[in-house]
Amino acid sequence: MNQIAGLQEDAHDLQLAIAKREMDLKNSVKAVEGRKRDRPMMDLMEILTLATTVVTVASAVCAATPTPKDDEFMGKYVYPFLEALALNIGKAKQPAPKEEILDG
């Protein structure tokens, strides 16, 4: 009978230890979830991904479109902005088209 009482005590202690571990685990999960909500909206990797996407799209647009004339709206405002986004600097820029002089 003494052994049975000892086993019952051990089982009760194990149940208490399991319950305590479950509570600790639940508290840890709540703490991690709270930290996720506290982080900034965009982390560094998301910012780098967005920046490289913008540069890639702008480069593709600049490469696929001919350089507009300087006196048009696109040539004055939009295209230089796209070139800046595409990081087209120096020799990467497309030269402006030369106007042909027609004799006649």
- Binned at pLDDT 50, 70 and 90, residue 84 comes out as confident
- Binned at pLDDT 50, 70 and 90, residue 43 comes out as confident
Say what the pLDDT of residue 63 is: 77
Say what the pLDDT of residue 57 is: 86
Rounded distance between C-alpha atoms, residue 21 and residue 28, angstroms: 10
| DSSP letter, residue 92 | G
Give the pLDDT confidence of 45-66 residue by residue, as tens digits.
888 898 889 888 888 887 777 7
pTM across the whole model: 0.41
DSSP three-state, residue 98: coil
Rounded distance between C-alpha atoms, residue 58 and residue 2, angstroms: 82
